[in-house]
C-alpha cells in the first residue's frame, strides 16, 4: 500500500498525503475509533468539517492515534453559512477548541454559498471576508494551509482578486462519471491542488456496468478502480469509510490505469445519486 506514503506538496510548501480518510456521515461518538483504525493501517490524512458534526471525535482520534501529531494531516471546513469576517474568526477558534488541537493542517471554506442557496445568490464579498479570517489564522500558524471546497472558477477568481494568500486546495466532487475537466485544468494552472471527495460517487458507481467491467479487467474492485482514477487525475482522493477492511482495500491501489481507459473514465457521464440527490452537492447544480 505504497500510496499511503506518497504526498503532494501544496503551494505553501506543506506536504499532504495523496490518499485520505473522509469522515462525512461517521457519527461523533464512533469517528475517533475510525481515525485510530485508519492511522494504524497507515493513513495520515484525515478530513472532517464543521458541518459533519464530528470534529470533537476526529480530534480525539488524532490525539489518541498511534502516530505523532506532526505526522498527521488534519483538515476541516468552515461552515458554508459563515460569510463574514467575525463569524469566520470565531468559527476557526471553535474548531481548534472542539478538536483540542493547537493547529489544523488545512481549513477550507466549505462552499461558496450557504447550503440552502447552493449555486444561488452572490456571496462574493462574504467569501472574501471569510477568506481574510483564514489568511490571518494562516499567518498566525494555527492553520498550516488554507483552501476552499465546491468553488467554481468564478468563485476562485473572486478570492484571487484580493487574496494575499491564494487558495492552496479546492476540494471538489470528482469521480468516474463526473470529471470537471475545465475546472481541474484551471486549478492546476493556478497551483491549486484538487482534492476529490466522493471518489466512489457516494456509492452510486458500484452498479455501473462499464465501470464494473473495467475493474474486472484490472482484477480490482470498483472502489479501487475509482480511487485509482482520481489519483491518476492528480488529485488527493478522500474515500469515506468507518470500516477498517474497506480502509485497507481502498489503499490497495498500486496499479496503473492505461491511457485509453483513463480517457474512457473521463468521458463517462454518471451522475444519478438516487436518494442522495437531496444533498446540494449531488443535486446537479
Q: Please, is 232 exposed, middle or buried when counting C-beta atoms within 10 Å of its C-beta (0-12, 13-18, 19+)?
A: middle
276 carries a ligand binding annotation: no
Side-chain-facing half-sphere of 227: CA atoms under 13 Å: 27
Exactly one of 43, 52, 273, 282 is catalytic; name it. Answer: 52
Other Cβ atoms closer than 10 A to 275: 9
Terminal C-alpha separation, the chain: 36
DSSP of 82-150:
--SHHHHHHHHHHHHHHHT-S-BSEEEE--SS-GGGTT-S--HHHHHHHHHHHHHHHHHTSBS-EEEES
Angle (deg, nearest 10), helices 124-140 and 85-99: 50
Q: How far apart are CA 248 and CA 256, in angstroms?
A: 18
Write down the H helix ranges in 141-180: 153-160
| CA dist list (Å): 49 to 33, 76, 86 | 17, 4, 19
CA distance 148 to 110: 6
DSSP codes joined into one string, 25-58: T--TTTHHHHHHHHHHHT--EEE--GGGT-HHHH
The question of whether 43 is a catalytic residue gets the answer: no
Which amino acids are annotated as binding site for substrate, given as ranges?
A: 110
Which amino acids are annotated as binding site, given as ranges?
A: 110
Residues labelled as active-site residues: 52
Amino acid at each position: 500500500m505504497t500510496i499511503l506514503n506518497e504526498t503532494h506538496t501544496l503551494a505553501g510548501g506543506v506536504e499532504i498525503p495523496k490518499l485520505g480518510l473522509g469522515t462525512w456521515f461517521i457519527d461523533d461518538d464512533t469517528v475517533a475509533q475510525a481515525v485510530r483504525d485508519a492511522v494504524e493501517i497507515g493513513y495520515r490524512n484525515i478530513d472532517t468539517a464543521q458541518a459533519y458534526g464530528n470534529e470533537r471525535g476526529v480530534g480525539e482520534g488524532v490525539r489518541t492515534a498511534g502516530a505523532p501529531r506532526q505526522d498527521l494531516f488534519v483538515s476541516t471546513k468552515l461552515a458554508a453559512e459563515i460569510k463574514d469576517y467575525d463569524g469566520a474568526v470565531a468559527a476557526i477558534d471553535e474548531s481548534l477548541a472542539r478538536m483540542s488541537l493547537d493547529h489544523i493542517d488545512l481549513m477550507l471554506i466549505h462552499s461558496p454559498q450557504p447550503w440552502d442557496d447552493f449555486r444561488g445568490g452572490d456571496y462574493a464579498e462574504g467569501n472574501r471576508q471569510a477568506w481574510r479570517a483564514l489568511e490571518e489564522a494562516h499567518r498566525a500558524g494555527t492553520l498550516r494551509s488554507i483552501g476552499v471546497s465546491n468553488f467554481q472558477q468564478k468563485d476562485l477568481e473572486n478570492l484571487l482578486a484580493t487574496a494575499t494568500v491564494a487558495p492552496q486546495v479546492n476540494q471538489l466532487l470528482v469521480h468516474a462519471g463526473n470529471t470537471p475537466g475545465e475546472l481541474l485544468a484551471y486549478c492546476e494552472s493556478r497551483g491549486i491542488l484538487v482534492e476529490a471527495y466522493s471518489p466512489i460517487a457516494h456509492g452510486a458507481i458500484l452498479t455501473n456496468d462499464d465501470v464494473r467491467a473495467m475493474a474486472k479487467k484490472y482484477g480490482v474492485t470498483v472502489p479501487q478502480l475509482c480511487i485509482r482514477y482520481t489519483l491518476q487525475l492528480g488529485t488527493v482522493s478522500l474515500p469515506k469509510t468507518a470500516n477498517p477492511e474497506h480502509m485497507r482495500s481502498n489503499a490497495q491501489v498500486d496499479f496503473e490505469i492505461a491511457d485509453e481507459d483513463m480517457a474512457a473514465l473521463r468521458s463517462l457521464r454518471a451522475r444519478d445519486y438516487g436518494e442522495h440527490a437531496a444533498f446540494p452537492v449531488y443535486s446537479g447544480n
